[in-house]
Amino acid sequence: MADLMEKIVSLCKRRGFIFPSSEIYGGIGGFWDFGPLGAELKNNIKAWWWKTMVWERSEVYGLDSTIIHHPKVWQASGHTVSFTDSLRECKSCHQRFRTDKISDDKCPECGGKLTEVKQFNLMFETWVGSAKETANKAYLRPETCQGIFINFVNILNTVQPKLPFGIAQIGKGFRNEVTLGNFIFRDREFEMMELEYFVKPGEDEKWFDYWLKDRMKWYWDLGINRKNLRFFEHPKESLAHYSKRTVDIEYKFPFGWAELEGIANRTDFDLKNQAKFSGKDLSFQDEDGKKFYPYVIEPSVGVERIILALILEAYHEEKDKNSVRTILSLNPKVSPIKIAIFPLLANKPELVKVARQVFDKLRPAFYAAWDDRGNIGKRYYAQDEIGTPWCVTIDYQTLKDETVTVRDRDTMKQERLGIDKLKDFFQNELEK
């Protein structure tokens, strides 16, 4: 399984999915840059989440709040006090370790003596204004949901929603993690997709169960095998200070079962506390004039974890007569490149000309790639490795009857279609 992770990391860098950030300077732990293919994959996942969570739901509204909020936001949420990790530092090499990752008083790296346990706040500090003064201290947000709670009244005033309703947001989060590892699973800068779903108190358990089922189905539709997903119920003693109940959707990574997405019943904690610290009325008034604080069900997931799970799920190898074919069987809806266009021979102008015409015709509707390097077999295999669902080859028969060869990534089956039929064919395939 460790070998699989090594292959994934190598593939992601070699083919332009993910690069270590600041690599020319030796890198910086917990930060990653997404290359041409990675950026497309990331945007496709976010677009699918937004479509299913916002566009297809009449009661959910979108928001894009700032990364830096007023410092009191984090006092109200409890982050300045409770958002910490217990750590110990090596007195010799000065590396830091979470206490749950070490078993004795010796440094796991150099064998040196460790300090006593200290509490380390995971939020990144920054300063607002021209002077670095305590009064100007602020934080990069460790989660996106507080931006939703502090805009709660703005949403009420602008769209006049009825319960239940949701506010969705996709955005960057920052956590100064002590322990990193497992590629992009645990990062210091990451992107979150969160929904805060506001419901009447007393109906929270019903809606919690609804979102458990809905979010699990979303991963099935994405193409993740059911046997690699499970629910994990957090015991009461380990719940966050705001949570009445939290259940994780876990994925079976090569390094073990781990959280993919968390669904939490945050009760009315956040709205009450933000109201208390701000002095503003953040309650909801129903049709009878009764005012109260709604309960909140929160499905929350990191985009990078979905990417890692998807690539692991889609990666497989098949042996043929001469080599090993690597396939990334991504759901076509999220595949970075939808279609690759090939002239059979790059040195034949008549084939190249028609191939360019096909490319120009498809490119506005689909993210397509042009490839005329090497022999056709190697081009097919190169596209299989990056998850391209279909390859279109323009050959000599095309010049006779205006048909092309369409090859399927997973089955390698080939069929001939008319050039005028291609757009409808691919649109229908992507809508399945």
The SS3 call for residue 189 is: strand
Q: Which two tokens stand for residue 188?
A: 């210091």
Give the whole-angstrom CA distance, residue 230 versus residue 261. 11
pLDDT tens figures, 171-217 = 999 998 877 889 999 999 999 999 999 999 999 999 999 999 999 99
DSSP state of 388: -
Place of tokens 């002077």: 131
Q: Which of 201, 198, 203 is nearest to 156 (CA)?
A: 198
Q: How many CA atoms lie within 13 A of 114 on its CB side?
A: 23
Domain boundaries, the chain: 2-69+142-312, 337-431
* Domain 2-69+142-312 matches domain 337-431 at the CATH topology level: no
* CA 201 from centroid of its chain's CA atoms: 30
What pLDDT score was predicted for residue 240? 85
- Give the pLDDT confidence of 403-428 residue by residue, as tens digits: 999 999 999 999 999 999 999 999 99
Q: Would you state the structure tokens that stand for residue 187, as one six-digit string?
A: 């990062």
In the chain, the percentage of residues whose pLDDT exceeds 70 is 97
For range 282-300, the mean pLDDT? 95
Among the four given CATH numbers 3.30.450.20, 3.40.50.300, 3.40.50.800, 3.40.50.2300, the one describing domain 337-431: 3.40.50.800
Cα–Cα distance for residue pair 54/168, rounded to 1 Å: 7
Look at strands 339-343 and 32-34 and give their pairing.
unpaired
pLDDT greater at residue 163 or residue 133: 163
Q: 58-94 pLDDT, tens per residue?
A: 999 999 999 999 999 999 998 887 766 677 778 788 7
427: number of CA atoms within 13 Å, CB side? Answer: 9
pLDDT at 93: 81
Q: Which residues sit opposite 118 in a β-bridge?
A: 87
b/e per residue 67-77 (b: at least 16 CB within 10 A): eebebebbebb
pLDDT in tens, 21-60: 999 999 999 999 999 999 999 999 999 999 999 999 999 9
Structure tokens at 264: 């939490």
CATH architecture group of domain 2-69+142-312: 2-Layer Sandwich (3.30)
CA distance linking residue 119 with residue 100, whole number of Å: 13
Residue 233: CB atoms within 10 A of its CB come to: 9
pLDDT in tens, 121-160: 788 989 998 777 766 889 999 999 999 999 999 999 999 9
From the centroid of its chain, how far is CA 291?
36
